[in-house]
Structure 1
Amino acid sequence: MSKKATVSIKRLVPGLIIGPASWLGPYIVMNSLFLPAMLQQLDPAKKVQLVALFSTMGMIVAAISNMIAGALSDRTKSRFGKRTPWIMGGALAFMLSMIGASFAQNVTMLLIAWMIGQAALNFIVAPMVAWLDLAPENQKGTASSAYGGLGMALGNNGFNVVGAMFLSQFRLGFIIFGIVEFIGTLIAVLIVHEPSSLDAVDDQKPEAKEKFSFKDIKNVFPGWSVGRDYYLAFIGKMFQGVGNFAITGYILYIMTDFLKRGSQTQSSIQLINTIMLIFGILMGLFAGPVSDKLKVLKLPVGFSTIFLALGAASLYFMHSTVGIAIYALCAGIGMGLWNALDNLLNLEVIPDPDRVAFFLGVYNLGNTLTQAIAPVIAAAAISVFGFSSIFLISFVFSIIGGLCVLSIKTVKR
C-alpha cells in the first residue's frame, strides 16, 4: 500500500482558512445580497419567484458538477497534486462568470452567467474539501476546525459585513468579489503547496477499477447497509442547511418586507454578520482542538442545531433589534460549532476511503444544495403563510437535522 500524502498542519491550517473563506465569502455575498438586488432591479414583481428559480437551477448544476469534480480530482495525477489544477480552473471560471453577471441586462443573461458560476464554484468546493485528508491523523480535528469553523465562518459572515456596503453598487460588487475569490483561492493553493500526485500508486485492484462506473449507480453510491452513517450525516446536513439558509437566503427581504427596517437594513445585516462572525471564529478556534483532545465529535455536531432553532424562534417572536441580536448570537454559536466539526464527522463515516474527494465533495455539496433548496421551500411558504413561516421552517428543519446526526452509530460520541 502506498504511503499516504500529508501536509504540515502549519501550512494546511492557513490554507484551510483562506481557501473556503475565499470561495464561500464572495458566493454568499452575491447569492444573499447582490443577486436578489439585481433581480429586484430587473423584475421587481417576480423577485421572490426568480430567487427560487435561480436556486432550483443552481441546485441541479451544482449537484452534477460537484460529483464530476470530486471524481475527476480523485483520479488526477499532476505535479501540482490531485486537487490544485481543478481548484484554480474553477476559481478562474467563477471570476469570469461573475464579471459577466455584472453586465447582465436581463434575467436570461443573468441566469446563464449564474449557472456557469455554479458549475465553476463546485470545481473549487469538491477538490478543496479533500485537503482535509492531507492532515496528519492526530490533527484532523484541528484541520476540520480551520476549514469549517474559521474559513467558513469568515466566508459566511465576514464578507457580508463588507458586502452590505455594496448594496447600492451591486454590479460593481459582482466584479470586486469575483476578483477577491480568485486571488484568495490562489493564495490558499500556494500556501498548501499540495504534494505531486505523479508518483501516487492506485491501491485499487484492476478488477475493482473496472467495476467502478458512473453507468452503474450502485457502484457510485453504496447501499444503505454500507453507507448508512454517511447518508445520515448527509441528510442531517441537508436539513440543518435548509434551516439555516431559509433565513439567510431571504435576509434582505426579511429586513425590508417583514421587519420593516428601512434605512436600518444595512446596519441590521452588518450587526447579524458581525456577531455571527465573532462567535463563529471562537467556535472555530476551540471546537477542533477540544474534539481532538476529548475524542468527542457526534454530540457537539448534533446538538449545535438547537442553537439554530432558538435563533429562528427569536426572530419569530421578537421583531426588534433585540430579536435580531439574539438570532445572530444563537446562529453564530450553532453554525460555528457545526462548521468546525461536521466535515470531520463525515470523514469518519465515508464508505470508501479511495474516493475521499468524491464523498467529501458530495457531502459538502450540502452547502450549495441547501442554499438552492431553502429559498424554494421558503418562497412556497411565504406565498401561502407569509414571511413569519420562514422561522417555523428553520426551527423544524434544524431539529430534524440534529436528530439525523445523533442517529449515527459508528461514531459513538
Structure 2
Amino acid sequence: MIGSTAPAVQGAEEAPERNLRLTGQRIGGWFVARYIAAMIGIYVALVTPASVTIALRVGQIDPEGKASSFALVSAFGAAGALIANPVFGALSDRSTSRFGQRRPFIVGGFAAGALAILAIGAAPTVLLVAVGWTIAQVAFNAALAATVAVLPERVPAALRGRVSGFMGMTGQVGVVGGTFLVQLVGTDGAGMFVWPAFLGALLVVPFVLMLKEAPRSRAEVGTATVKALVGALWINPFRHRDFGFAWAGRFLAWISLYLLTTYKTYFLVDHLGYTSESVAPILTLAMFVLAVGVAVSSIGGGWLSDRLGRRKPFVIGASMLFVSAMLVIAFSTSVEKFLIGIALAGLGNGLYLGVDYALIADVLPDSGAEAGKGMGVFNLSSTIPQTLAPLLAPVLLSIGSSGNTPNYTSLFLSAAALALISAVFIQFIRGTR
C-alpha cells in the first residue's frame, strides 16, 4: 500500500477560520451548549457501565469469582479504548464522506457502542460480557475521538479556555448522572443498560443534527493506509517539543491522580482504621467533594484563562494543587485531613481539565489536517496511567514499609513528586503563554 500523511493546511489559514468560511456555521453559545451536551451524553453511555452496571452484570453471572472476572472484563475494555481513540481519530481525519469528517464517526460509534451495551445486558457468560465491553469501548471511544477533535478545528482560540473548562467537567457529570439514573430505574432487568444509552443518545443527537461540515476530497486528507493508522499512535515528541512536554506533563499528573483514586479505599481501611462496611459513606462524601472541586475549578479556570490569554500558569497551578493534595493525604491521621486533601485534588483535577484541552489545542501539530489523530494521541496521556498506576503502586507502597504493612505515606509522597515534575515539564512549553 502507498503510505500517506495528511497534507498541511492550505496557506496560513487557521482551522476554525477555514471551517467558518466553508460551512458558514459560527461558534457561539448554542453551539458550545450542544457540543458539551454531546460529550456528556457519550460519557453517560460509556462511564455508567464502566463504574456501575458491568460490575453488577458480572456479579450476576459469576458471583463467586466476580472480582477476578470483572478485572478481566475491565482489562479487555481498557485495551480496546487505548487503541481506538487515536486510530479512529486518524480515520476521521481522512474521511471524505459527504456527511462530513466527524459526524459519521460520532453517530456510528455511539450506535455501535449502545448496541454492544444492550447485548451485555443479555450476555450469559463472562467471556461474552468481555467481548461486548471491548466492542463498546472501541465504539464509544471512536465517537469520543471525533467529538474532541471539534475543539481545535472549530473553536476559535479566544474561546477555547471556556469551552475546555466545560469539557473538563463532562466526565464527572457523566459519572454522577449515570449513577443517579441507575439508582432511579433500578438494577433489575435490562433497564440499567437501556436508559443510560437512551439518555446519552438524546444528548448527542442535537449536536450531530446541527453540526455543519464541508466534505473534503481525498487529495486534501490523504489515504488511510496501514502505515498511517499505526502512525496514529505516535507523535514525535522531539520534533513537536511543545506537544511532547504537554503530553508528558499530563501523563505524570494523571498517574498522581490515579494513585489517589485507585488506593483511597485501601488507605481509609489500612491507614485510618475503617472497615469495608463503614468506609462506604466516607467514599461517597469524598467523591462528592472531588466532583464539586472539579466543577468549580474547571469552569472558572477555563473562563479566566481566556480572559487573561494565558494557559501555562493555570496548568502549572493545577499541578501544584496536586502536590499539596498528596502531601496533605500522605500525612493524614484523620478523615477530616483526608477530605481536605481530596478537596485540593478536586480543585487541581478540575483546573487541569479546564485548561489543558485549550493548551493542547494551541500547540497541536497540524490541527487543521490531523486534529483527530493529535487529540487521540493526547488522550493516551490520561488513559495509559489508568493501567500503569495499579502496577506502579505496589512498588511505591513497599518503600519503607514494615512487614506486610503498606506504606501509604511513601505512595502519596511519590505521587506528589510526580505532580511536581509535571509542573516542571509545562514550564518548557513555548508555543503558548
Superposition TM-score, scaled by structure 2 size: 0.78
Task: Go from structure 1 to structure 2 and tell me whether the alpha carbon gap of 1:312 and 1:195 turns closer, same or farther (over 3 Å shift).
Answer: same
Task: Go from structure 1 to structure 2 and tell me whether the alpha carbon gap of 1:36 and 1:310 turns closer, same or farther (over 3 Å shift).
Answer: farther
Q: Does 1:138 align with 2:155?
A: no
Q: Does 1:245 align with 2:258?
A: yes
User: Any idea what SS the aligned residue of 1:197 has?
Assistant: coil
| Alpha-carbon shift at residue 288 of structure 1 (Å) | 2.0
| Alpha-carbon shift at residue 39 of structure 1 (Å) | 5.3
Aligned pairs for 1:254-333 (under 5 A) are 260=274, 262-318=276-332, 320-333=334-347
* Cα contact 2:237–2:245 (8 A) shared by 1: no
* Matched-pair identity in %: 23
CA distance in 2, matches of 1:360, 1:253: 34
Task: Go from structure 1 to structure 2 and tell me whether the alpha carbon gap of 1:33 and 1:366 turns closer, same or farther (over 3 Å shift).
Answer: farther
Match of 2:375 among 360, 373, 387: 360
Q: Does 1:336 align with 2:350?
A: yes
Q: Which runs of 5+ in 2 are unaligned?
A: 1-9, 21-25, 399-403
Deviations 1:290-324 (A, max 9, x none): 11221211121123122233334444433644144
* Cα contact 2:44–2:197 (8 A) shared by 1: no
The number of aligned residues is 402
| Alpha-carbon shift at residue 143 of structure 1 (Å) | 1.9
Aligned to 1:159: 177
| Alpha-carbon shift at residue 213 of structure 1 (Å) | 4.9
Task: Go from structure 1 to structure 2 and tell me whether the alpha carbon gap of 1:273 and 1:164 turns closer, same or farther (over 3 Å shift).
Answer: farther
User: Any idea what SS the aligned residue of 2:101 has?
Assistant: coil
| Alpha-carbon shift at residue 68 of structure 1 (Å) | 2.1
Aligned to 1:85: 104
Aligned to 1:102: 121
Task: Go from structure 1 to structure 2 and tell me whether the alpha carbon gap of 1:46 and 1:219 turns closer, same or farther (over 3 Å shift).
Answer: closer
CA distance in 1, matches of 2:420, 2:35: 29
Aligned pairs for 1:109-128 (under 5 A) are 109-128=128-147
| Alpha-carbon shift at residue 86 of structure 1 (Å) | 0.7
Aligned to 2:4: none
CA distance in 1, matches of 2:285, 2:347: 15
Superposition TM-score, scaled by structure 1 size: 0.82
Task: Go from structure 1 to structure 2 and tell me whether the alpha carbon gap of 1:54 and 1:319 turns closer, same or farther (over 3 Å shift).
Answer: farther
Matched AA of 2:144: V
User: Any idea what SS the aligned residue of 1:397 has?
Assistant: helix
Match of 1:398 among 407, 419, 429: 419
Deviations 1:173-230 (A, max 9, x none): 444333333333224434xx221322x467859xxx47x8542789654544421221
Aligned to 1:70: 89
* Cα contact 1:245–1:370 (8 A) shared by 2: yes
Range that drifts further, 284-293 or 257-266: 257-266
CA distance in 2, matches of 1:253, 1:105: 32
Task: Go from structure 1 to structure 2 and tell me whether the alpha carbon gap of 1:204 and 1:90 turns closer, same or farther (over 3 Å shift).
Answer: closer
Q: Does 1:15 align with 2:34?
A: yes
Matched AA of 1:179: F
| Alpha-carbon shift at residue 336 of structure 1 (Å) | 0.8
Larger Cα Rg: Structure 1 or Structure 2?
A: 2
Aligned to 1:235: 248
CA distance in 1, matches of 2:348, 2:182: 23
Match of 1:371 among 367, 373, 386: 386
CA distance in 1, matches of 2:206, 2:362: 29
Task: Go from structure 1 to structure 2 and tell me whether the alpha carbon gap of 1:217 and 1:154 turns closer, same or farther (over 3 Å shift).
Answer: closer
Give the superposed CA RMSD: 3.6
Deviations 1:358-383 (A, max 9, x none): 10122123343333333444477679
Matched AA of 2:377: V
Aligned pairs for 1:3-42 (under 5 A) are 4-6=18-20, 7-36=26-55, 42=62
| Alpha-carbon shift at residue 5 of structure 1 (Å) | 1.2
Task: Go from structure 1 to structure 2 and tell me whether the alpha carbon gap of 1:219 and 1:169 turns closer, same or farther (over 3 Å shift).
Answer: closer
CA distance in 1, matches of 2:271, 2:105: 42
User: Any idea what SS the aligned residue of 1:77 has?
Assistant: coil
* Cα contact 1:33–1:167 (8 A) shared by 2: no
